[in-house]
Structure 1
Amino acid sequence: MVLQVLVDHRGHFIDINAGWPGKVHDARIFWNTGLFRKLQAGTFFPDQKITVGDVEMPIVILGDLAYPLMPWLMKPYTGKLDRSKEWFNYRLSRCRMTVECAFGRLKGSWHSMYGKLDLGESSIPAVISVCCTLHNICEGKGETFSQAWTYEVQRLEAEFAQPKSRATREAQHRASRIRDALREEFEAENQQ
């Protein structure tokens, strides 16, 4: 089941969407949310704009490659990148680390986010939403987060990896080795 959230700069979940099957593409889920409709209408954030260079822009959110590039949603550049685009991608990635940390802390605090829940499928989104709400309460009160929980998260991720995800990772590892071998062969041929 997919959990799609909007995370603020403090690592708090400010919009939660849970319940779509894991096989549904992230962008499709996003297009069907109230968050998307509010962002598209310009009503989610206050009407504040800044000017960078000669471009006026609204408050933006950050997304990964799965999401559409929109005036209010920035995502990384793809393809052949010059130094400035690489730098943009690096800065975007650093900002998105807040999201990764928030998910890590959520999973570390609430182990019910792993494995099979002995609940009806229709109840699972509520449990996920409650875990997100409790995360926000704990974060807001400055509750201590044990780094040992991070190691437990890594163990649980390996134990409960989805078969398709595991197969994809293995295929990507094999593909990387093939690509590296080809690159090395092409480089050797070029030096002859």
Structure 2
Amino acid sequence: MDSHNTYDTRLLVAFMDLLTTVERCFWVRETSTAWWDHIVMQVWDDEQWLQNFRMRKATFMVWCDELAPALQCKDTRLRAALTVEKWVAIAIWKLATPDSYGLVANQFGVGKSTVGIVLMQVCRAINCILLRRTVTLGNVHDIVAGFAQMGFPNCRGAIDGTHIPILAPVHLASEYINRKGYFFMVLQALVDHCGRFIDINVGWPRKVHDACIFWNTGLFRKLQAGTFFPDQKLTIGEVEMPIVILGDPTYPLMPWLMKPYTGSLDSSKEWFNNRLSRYRMTVECAFGRLKGCWCCLYGKLDLADDNVPMVLSACCTLHNICEGKDERFT
């Protein structure tokens, strides 16, 4: 028994000696936050903020105050929590640039996984707090007057869809692929005369026709029920014209949806189509500014397909806020 205990003791001592010779690794790598703390927050002027964060610093700080209840974190014994300003900045930088998670992590001095967590948390907060009061129907009379000033009477908005490239979905990937071999998700939107989003619908696969998407939206049901527009008709010649929205030829012709003529056209119909196309371009221009400002929408969104609608909705919300404050990225 004594010899057995002595052997165990020597074995334990040898094992402990081995442990003390193993080179230990830090549980977190050292990073620097000097760029954010001292350069961005203290040195950058409004022009630099606008070019990099798509908004001026004052607007950014207002956003942070509004999102703080959903993003505020407490310090722990291991580390200090990220400030709300840094949370929002990381998410906006990821949305506004084509940078990878690793590049954004190095820029802000955080871990790569932290960038992914922050992005989804901020987008969720934007959708919960800002979406419903930002992507709204707006003032009907102002929008109708805006389109009338452009040259199209009694118009409430223009509708269209755009394709957002995504990674291959885990399930039913064939439903999201196009003839070029890319995977897409559809964003369908109704915009006002200024190119702000009035109504959005996201998450449909590429192979679903635009008209089919439209028929399955809450917007279509409201239009059919007559609850979306006021009953305001304009008499043109001998015809009473209700308030309408403008769509391309893929949409159905409805009493409240105007689309171009198809088939054999005479000069008057061609003239009408050209005029309608000119005013319908407001939605195309809105999509262009959306993707130009939030560059993550140009390349493949490196997100799980379940998270894509949340990010798209957040980008549309940010678009409306920046457009409303005339902080357009150029």
* Fold in common (TM above 0.5): yes
1:47 paired residue number: 231
2:204 paired residue number: 20
Q: Distance in 1 between matches of 2:299 and 2:205?
A: 15
| Equivalent position SS for 2:308 | helix
Q: How does 1:172-191 map to 2 (within 5 A)?
A: none
| Amino-acid identity (%) | 79
1:154 paired residue number: none
Q: Distance in 2 between matches of 1:118 and 1:145?
A: 23
Q: Distance in 2 between matches of 1:105 and 1:115?
A: 15
1:4 paired residue number: 188
Q: How does 1:94-109 map to 2 (within 5 A)?
A: 94-109=278-293
| Equivalent position SS for 1:116 | coil
Q: CA deviation at 1:107?
A: 0.5
| Equivalent position SS for 2:306 | helix
Cα distance per residue 1:68-121 (max 9 Å; x no partner): 000100001011111110010010011011111111100000011123323221
2:315 paired residue number: 131
**Bigger-Rg structure (1/2):** 2
Q: Which runs of 5+ in 2 are unaligned?
A: 1-184
Cα distance per residue 1:142-163 (max 9 Å; x no partner): 01331xxxxxxxxxxxxxxxxx
2:250 is the counterpart of 1:82: no
1:36 paired residue number: 220
Q: Distance in 2 between matches of 1:2 and 1:43?
A: 26
**Among candidates 105, 113, 120, match of residue 297 of structure 2:** 113
**Among candidates 225, 231, 243, match of residue 59 of structure 1:** 243
Greater than 4 Å deviation, 4+ residue runs: none
| Equivalent position SS for 2:307 | helix
| Equivalent position SS for 2:200 | strand
1:69 paired residue number: 253
Q: Distance in 1 between matches of 2:257 and 2:326?
A: 30
| Equivalent position SS for 1:67 | coil
Q: Distance in 1 between matches of 2:235 and 2:227?
A: 19
TM-score normalised by the chain length of structure 2: 0.43
Q: How many residues align?
A: 146
1:32 is matched by which residue type in structure 2? Answer: N
Q: Distance in 2 between matches of 1:116 and 1:41?
A: 38
| Equivalent position SS for 1:121 | coil
Q: Distance in 1 between matches of 2:230 and 2:325?
A: 26
1:105 is matched by which residue type in structure 2? Answer: R
Q: Which runs of 5+ in 1 are unaligned?
A: 147-192
94-103 or 50-59: which moved more?
Answer: 50-59
Q: Distance in 1 between matches of 2:325 and 2:226?
A: 31
Q: Distance in 1 between matches of 2:303 and 2:328?
A: 29
1:185 paired residue number: none
1:117 is matched by which residue type in structure 2? Answer: L
Q: CA deviation at 1:31?
A: 0.2
TM-score normalised by the chain length of structure 1: 0.73
1:182 paired residue number: none
Q: Distance in 2 between matches of 1:58 and 1:40?
A: 13
